[in-house]
Structure 1
């Protein structure tokens, strides 16, 4: 009888742990305005979260990220730019300078986070979680690394720096994520 009880307890614990799986909604970034940006506010919407930099050779991707945002925001996609100075010191500006740069040069209207550490031991908790889900190859190696999160807050996929935001790889993945919501 005791063994049956222990087995049932183990099953209940395992199913409770599975139900309590960590998702992107458990994390909060800081917005470019300095206010908390809980990812839970985007519940029910797929998210493309991209670490960005203003002085990088890939900085023109802001233009395609804005195009993707405009093409998909009414369908439910959320894009979040996460400025980071982790790679080559290519995001040295203040929050205000970053926001102005993005608006003036690329017309960015999608949400931006404040400058965030995205790699290593000091990485933001969201980036630690996403990097764990993506595996060693899927962790940011440079600016404009992209994570796709499902409408349920679960990790879907990652896209390396050179992957174009309006390219078929990302748009197909976004279409699939939107169809699943």
Structure 2
């Protein structure tokens, strides 16, 4: 998870202007993957890498011009796409203003949801119903029995999926929360390991 967050953060910290991925989705393969897992020989561990920059663009300061490879806001899959990307006018935006670092935070968190639950957002729902849910501003339901999504994680996800994009947390806050969760899980697992007595 941290590799993915760091990859998006790297794009957003581009020196001239943030690069918006614009299509963060999928590790399950139902819509194609945007995350590749490979072995990093330098780190000697598996590493997640962002791929598929077909909808990426450099966010201009005045938002009048954008270097985009597609002009449609709905080219991404509905299950992951931020609310404002479907109907920018409903949120007081022009289409060119709908893809931002905040829409990437929304879509990244949908991907994190997918990784933690093992299924896409709105799992078990046909695509047309998932699209209708997103158009209504609905979020996926919290899955029962998913040990990776406790109350704190769920509340963070809901903040990241806020219809008010200015209310969404920053990538730094998201990273800090996930990092603390990983540390806590590792601590709890290691504290359960009892040395064998001889």
Structures share a fold, TM > 0.5? no
TM-score, normalised by the number of residues in structure 1: 0.29
TM-score, normalised by the number of residues in structure 2: 0.28
Bigger fraction of residues in strand? 1
Structure having greater relative contact order (Cα 8 Å, sep ≥ 6): 1
